[in-house]
Amino acid sequence: MELETLTVEIEAPRATITFNRPDKKNAMNPQMHLDMNTALDALEERRDLKVLVITGSGNSFSAGMDLEECFLQPFEDADLFYRTNLAALKWFQRLKAFPLVTIAQVNGYAFGGGFEVTGLCDLAVAAEDVKFGLSEINFGIFPAGGATWAVTHNMPRKQALYYILTGATLTGTEAAQYGLVNQAVPAEELEAAVDAMVARIVNKNPVTLRLAKEVYEATTTMDLPRAIDYDQAKLWELSRLSDNEWITVALKQFEKRSFRPGIATYSRTEADDASKRSA
Ligand code: ACO
């Protein structure tokens, strides 16, 4: 799928969205916000996908909002500002709740919206030399549109407030220390590190992946008794939607000692068709 500001590659079960305005360090302009919603619409409907990787073309993940097209120019045009803002806020929220496992593959620069997208993805790998920054304070605002939320839900309080209040940059290595990304690797190993992470996910049952995300997200705001109620209901949902694959395939293989669940995943070759029917 070729959109004006993005490329979308699909090699099921993996999809990759690449921000594609390299001459503008992949700053997110209004067209990119519209394109992201179009891309997510298309990917959401594909039941053969499990993982969505988001990355940037050229030497930048994303320099955040296009400061001219999203803020400066719409300043005189309230309708344009409203439409642009709506499209941006819509896809940021969708990304957080997206049914696929989302992985940010972060290269070069990740400012403002680029920092936020890293935080909203489920998982993230960065090049060690990436420059992350919440530059909002440098031009007189604070991180908004979910950016403060994304920082506070990924980083410890002192670090979150430091970067919010100073606009200082942090490297990919520091981002890994503080928990904003899972891993920082030398730039030349970035793609391979993401491929390895994808490989660990795509051999899992797609229904289980989706429900595992739902249970994580929903139970973070519940007390323990409610969380247990919720996860038990989801476990029944999982069993129903996957034809009890965890019992009839996975644990049967364990019974025959053909795999060790502590260190490996069961073989899904025979189960794949059944779960595609019911996913
Ligand atoms: N909005 C609009 N244009 C941008 C943005 C942006 N966020 N970031 C980079 N560009 C443009 C530059 O203006 C320049 O365009 P030009 O060739 O027409 O002059 C082009 O991308 C290349 O950028 P340079 O500044 O020449 O590249 P350099 O490597 O020297 O610096 C850097 C890169 C540090 C990312 C710098 O461009 C920058 O500070 N950008 C702004 C980052 C930022 O503060 N983003 C806003 C975050 S807040 C939010 O998202 C709400």
Residues 103 and 210 in one domain: no
List residues bridging with 55 in a β-sheet.
18
Task: Specify the residue with its C-alpha closest to ligand 1, atom 39.
Answer: 63
Residues 59 and 177 in one domain: yes
Is residue 30 lining ligand 1, measured as CB closer than 6 Å?
Answer: no
Is residue 113 lining ligand 1, measured as CB closer than 6 Å?
Answer: yes
Indicate the burial class of 216 (C-beta count within 10 angstroms; 0-12, 13-18, 19 or more). exposed
Residues 110 and 181 in one domain: yes
> Strands 109-111, 131-133: parallel, antiparallel or unpaired by DSSP?
parallel
Domain count, the chain: 2
CA–CA distance, 3 with 277 (Å, rounded to integer):
30
Residues in contact with 60: Cβ distance below 8 Å, sequence separation at least 6, in sequence order: 22, 25, 26, 107, 108, 109, 110, 114
Q: Which range marks the domain in which residue 247 is found?
A: 206-278
Give the DSSP H/E element, type plus range, for residue 127: strand 123-127
Residues 213 and 160 in one domain: no
- The CATH number covering residue 54 comes to 3.90.226.10
* pTM flag (> 0.85): yes
Residues 235 and 181 in one domain: no
Residue 1 in domain: no
Q: Which one of 201, 221, 237 terminates a domain?
A: 201
- The tens place of each residue's pLDDT in the chain, 279 residues long, gives 779 999 999 999 999 999 999 999 999 999 999 999 999 999 999 999 999 999 999 999 999 999 999 988 877 788 888 888 899 999 999 999 999 999 999 999 999 999 999 999 999 999 999 999 999 999 999 999 999 999 999 999 999 999 999 999 999 999 999 999 999 999 999 999 999 999 999 999 999 999 999 999 999 999 999 999 999 999 999 999 999 999 999 999 999 999 999 999 999 885 554 444 444
Residues 92 and 134 in one domain: yes
Residue type, 117: V
CA of residue 30 to ligand 1 center, whole Å = 16
Is residue 33 lining ligand 1, measured as CB closer than 6 Å?
Answer: no
Residues 159 and 51 in one domain: yes
Is residue 67 lining ligand 1, measured as CB closer than 6 Å?
Answer: yes
Residue 51 in domain: yes
Q: What atom of ligand 1 comes closest to residue 138's alpha carbon?
A: 44
Comparing C-alpha atoms, which of 122, 197, 112 is closest to residue 153? 122
